[in-house]
Structure 1
Amino acid sequence: MSALVIAWTTAVVVTLAAAVALTVLVRQRDRVRAELARTDPLTGLGNRRALLELGEPLLARGRPLGLLLLDLDGFKDVNDTLGHAAGDEVLVQVSRVLSGTLGDRATVTRLGGDEFAVLVPDPAGEAELELLAKRLLASLAVGGFHAGVVPIDLQGSIGIALSGVDGNSLGGLLQRADVAMYAAKRSRVGVLRYDAASDPHSAGGLELLGQLRSAMEEDQLALHYQPKVSGDGSRLLGFEALVRWNHPVRGLLLPADFLPFVERTHLIHALTRWVLITALRQAATWRAQGLSTSMAVNVSAVSLDTGLLGVVEEALALTRWSPGDLVLEITETAIVDDPAGARATVAALRERGVRVAVDDFGAGSTSLGHLRGLAVHELKIDRQFVSELVAHPEDEVIVSSVIALAHRLGLVVVAEGVETVAAADRLCALGCDELQGFFFARPLPADQAMAWARAEGLTGSAVELA
């Protein structure tokens, strides 16, 4: 073989080898890029793309799938207080705990922020999905999370969706699990299965929302009023306005039947305005008739923003109502979800002279520590502690402690859910300032509320500002 042939052969071999090597490198690069595109860079878990690539083929082959959507409750506090680097550190720990809890039974992915999705192939029905969800929440409750040397306590809310029943695509299952998760967060139950009846995006939900727009114009909405009396039961101090819907087909609907739909749309702002103006007009009418009390109105967490002040100003101006006799009740959720925003809005309302109460205190994750720097006037103890006050000594300890600490913070304490004379007497002995519940009266239409006050001999008295 001549030198020329040898050289040519060598060149060909080298070129082929280089081409093969380049092909291998390109394929390796593409695999790495594809893997990176499917991986959450912070936790190393799969991301939304990985979830879709894993789930869609299984659905296409007819495999049943369960989807759990988990969101950490109040995680924004960690980022706001300790910084995003600390929050990232905690999220990495959470991802390890979630993956370790379920092992090979399911695939845990991170969709972004503090939201995780869990894909469960071939679930043994809804019961297994609920069991897995509760195991995940239990693993969070065990604790052990920390940001540097700062211990972090975490809770979560999980929504469940099941293929074939709730949807036949990953996108559909994600949307429905998201609806269930937010419902679980609002009701503070931890885990909820998707229910089309409470989905504002379902056909039924959209129809109900459309009807509600007309209901406000056609006088189908009404307010019922539940009295609040002094701790010793001798004076009527105020009423709480509670919305009802006289639906032409479904009959009388309570807030739980339609507010979950409304709170996820801009319609909540129109409804809040309607309730405020209607309640204050009624209160002004009563005042002209000699019944002088405060009026309390519930404000959704969605409505608790700086725009609320303008709505309040309008309602006060239209009704010529004293701002000191208006109480706006906000839930713990509003404080936990956006502490900075809640503080700003409450401060603006207080400067205007409006009183603010924290509703359902003790039912969620708020502590008295959250109230420091939050310029509220009242604290309403959740009914779960009040209803069993006499039967369960531990509930009395909790209520007594809340009353004592709240008084040290200069807050008025209201107990809701008072249903027996024994509970009323005990709350009075513990120093509770105001009482509210079925023992005194259920929520009543305006004419019946006035008749009740006269029958009880409670004509009301002007509320003194703290």
Structure 2
Amino acid sequence: MDAAWAAWTTVVVVTVAAAVALAAVVRQRDRRSARVARTDALTGLGNRHALTERLVRSLAAGERPGLLLLDLDGFKDVNDTLGHSAGDALLRQVAAVLRSGAGPQAQVTRLGGDEFAVLVPAPTGAQELEVLAKRLLAALSIGGFSSGQVPLDVQGSIGTALAGPDGTSAEELLQHADVAMYAAKRARAGVLRYDAAQDPHSTDALEVLGQLRRAMDEDQLVVHYQPKVAGGGHGQLLGFEALVRWQHPTRGLLAPAAFLPLVERTRLIHALTRWVLLTAVRQVATWRAQGLDTTVSVNISAATLDEGLLGMVEEALALTRWPAEQLVLEITETAIVVDPAGARRTVQRLRERGVRVSVDDFGAGATSLVHLRGLAVHELKVDRQFVSDLMAHPEDEVIVSSVIALAHRLGLVVVAEGVEDAVTAARLSAMGCDELQGYLFARPLPPADALRWARGELPAPQLGEPVDEPA
């Protein structure tokens, strides 16, 4: 009996010990699985799951963490040119630089692809986040990255969001930092903080977009026309630029800056571009029937500089029988830089159709001479920031005269916008500027007033009145 009891006790002890050992193994395995589930296999950083958990805990504890979202610029080119192994090697190098530069208190994670996040537990405010973001971008720019014997230049765009003013949940902070990051990438600004006014998904922005959709159906949108005249002191009318406005039922006449930045982030920009293009071409076709033959310029967003634009142009020309050579499409430098190859293809197709293309705001962006050389454009519009203070800043005069000389060597027409006084107009004409545009001649006018101006039936604007905002 005693022997049997002893044997049974031994079995129980062994079984309990085995169970305890098994439980320890299971716990160890679970901890290892949890670490794997929260770790990015490529870089060893935390992953999106780890970041979200940390954000949730921090917010639940009443803290106000800050979040930085980083996206590398041009990473796809590394993969396409050098292969995915080179891309993986670069991501590991970037992870090391970010971990070192962010400091011991920050949590660096890789969200996937070439996107990284940095969680700052208790920043003093948005300014601290901006300083850290700029420091990280500077560290990347001098990181000495390479793949084999190939040196790699690494740049990035960062969006920041601060708990409280920029979001109250982990989901909101991640979404808003992502919105800011893409805004920084589009603007080539390096670092931008979340701005609800520029977020197409915010409540206010969605309301504005909804109102704008109704505005297009209810004829609240209008197009005003600003004349362009010949340089050289002649003042001969050469054409009009079409500028969209929103006659809001409660807020009055809204300039493009009040709604276009939101629209450009949605598919609504295509419908708006089509509407403006058709409206402008129909208007000048009507003027032609009334005895005024002129060109018309229409601004084109970077978001619509694609194959769909060609269809819009063909539709407008076919419906109005307007000559293609009297239509000018103005594209910004940003549109060229974002997709140089795509811009070249579209511009070439437009040129083959006979449509003229202008580079708007030249000098304000980052168009390289290489991009300009390969672009079949007809004219350059010198940015107003160099024109408005031309007589007060000698360096602006040097810039403008250089642009004019460069453009003429390339066979391009030069337009100066923002001309507000006769002295500046005379100086631009002396430098050989081909066309002038600005408040000195007329502000953007409703169609009826634009026709009266062309016929000399409107008095010249009084200097000193408010200058029309940039369109």
TM range (shorter): 0.7 to 0.9
Deviation, 1:245, is 0.5
1:233–1:435 CA contact under 8 A, matched in 2: no
2:102–2:118 CA contact under 8 A, matched in 1: no
1:232 paired with 2:232, answer yes
Q: What's 2:309 paired with?
A: 308
Q: What's 1:442 paired with?
A: 443
Go from structure 1 to structure 2 and tell me whether the alpha carbon gap of 1:190 and 1:233 turns closer, same or farther (over 3 Å shift): farther
Q: What's 1:412 paired with?
A: 413
Distance (whole Å) between structure 1 residues aligned to residue 77 and residue 314 of structure 2 = 30
Distance (whole Å) between structure 1 residues aligned to residue 124 and residue 210 of structure 2 = 38
Distance (whole Å) between structure 2 residues aligned to residue 89 and residue 388 of structure 1 = 49
1:246 paired with 2:247, answer yes
Deviation, 1:86, is 6.1
Deviation, 1:359, is 2.1
Deviation, 1:421, is 3.4
Q: What's 2:60 paired with?
A: 60
Match of 1:48, as an amino acid?
R
Distance (whole Å) between structure 2 residues aligned to residue 26 and residue 358 of structure 1 = 66
Distance (whole Å) between structure 1 residues aligned to residue 223 and residue 421 of structure 2 = 25
Deviation, 1:211, is 1.4
Aligned partner of residue 104 in structure 1, secondary structure: coil
Structure 2 matches for 1:60-79, cutoff 5 A? 60-72=60-72
Q: For structure 1, which segment, 289-298 or 138-147, has the greater mean C-alpha deviation from structure 2 after superposition?
A: 138-147
Deviation, 1:73, is 5.0
Q: What's 1:352 paired with?
A: 353
2:452–2:458 CA contact under 8 A, matched in 1: no
1:268 paired with 2:260, answer no
Q: What's 2:285 paired with?
A: 284
Q: What's 1:4 paired with?
A: none
Match of 2:136, as an amino acid?
L
The superposition leaves residues 412-442 of structure 1 with CA deviations (integer Å, 9 ceiling, x where unpaired) of: 3333333343433333333333332333322
TM norm structure 1: 0.83
2:449–2:458 CA contact under 8 A, matched in 1: no
Match of 2:280, as an amino acid?
A
Structure 2 matches for 1:139-288, cutoff 5 A? 139=139, 156-234=156-234, 235-288=236-289
Distance (whole Å) between structure 2 residues aligned to residue 264 and residue 217 of structure 1 = 20
Q: For structure 1, which segment, 251-260 or 125-134, has the greater mean C-alpha deviation from structure 2 after superposition?
A: 125-134
Q: What's 1:47 paired with?
A: 47
Distance (whole Å) between structure 2 residues aligned to residue 151 and residue 450 of structure 1 = 59
The superposition leaves residues 197-255 of structure 1 with CA deviations (integer Å, 9 ceiling, x where unpaired) of: 33221222222212111111211000112222233252322221111111111222221
Match of 1:166, as an amino acid?
D
Deviation, 1:173, is 0.9
Deviation, 1:114, is 4.0
Go from structure 1 to structure 2 and tell me whether the alpha carbon gap of 1:219 and 1:363 turns closer, same or farther (over 3 Å shift): same
Gap regions ≥5 residues in structure 1: 1-8, 459-466
Go from structure 1 to structure 2 and tell me whether the alpha carbon gap of 1:227 and 1:188 turns closer, same or farther (over 3 Å shift): farther
Deviation, 1:279, is 0.5
Q: For structure 1, which segment, 320-329 or 224-233, has the greater mean C-alpha deviation from structure 2 after superposition?
A: 224-233
TM norm structure 2: 0.82
Distance (whole Å) between structure 1 residues aligned to residue 189 and residue 153 of structure 2 = 17
Q: What's 2:4 paired with?
A: none
Aligned partner of residue 168 in structure 1, secondary structure: coil
Distance (whole Å) between structure 1 residues aligned to residue 291 and residue 55 of structure 2 = 66
Match of 2:168, as an amino acid?
N
The sequence identity of aligned pairs, in percent, is: 73
The superposition leaves residues 75-112 of structure 1 with CA deviations (integer Å, 9 ceiling, x where unpaired) of: 66666777766666655554444443332253333334
Distance (whole Å) between structure 2 residues aligned to residue 264 and residue 213 of structure 1 = 14
Aligned partner of residue 391 in structure 2, secondary structure: coil
Gap regions ≥5 residues in structure 2: 1-9, 460-471
> Which is higher, the Rg of structure 1 or of structure 2?
2
The superposition leaves residues 392-411 of structure 1 with CA deviations (integer Å, 9 ceiling, x where unpaired) of: 33333333333333333333
1:104 paired with 2:104, answer yes
Match of 1:128, as an amino acid?
E
Go from structure 1 to structure 2 and tell me whether the alpha carbon gap of 1:169 and 1:284 turns closer, same or farther (over 3 Å shift): same
Deviation, 1:300, is 1.5
Distance (whole Å) between structure 2 residues aligned to residue 80 and residue 395 of structure 1 = 41
Q: What's 1:371 paired with?
A: 372
1:355–1:376 CA contact under 8 A, matched in 2: yes
Larger relative CO (CA 8 A, sep 6+): 1 or 2? 1
Number of aligned residues: 450
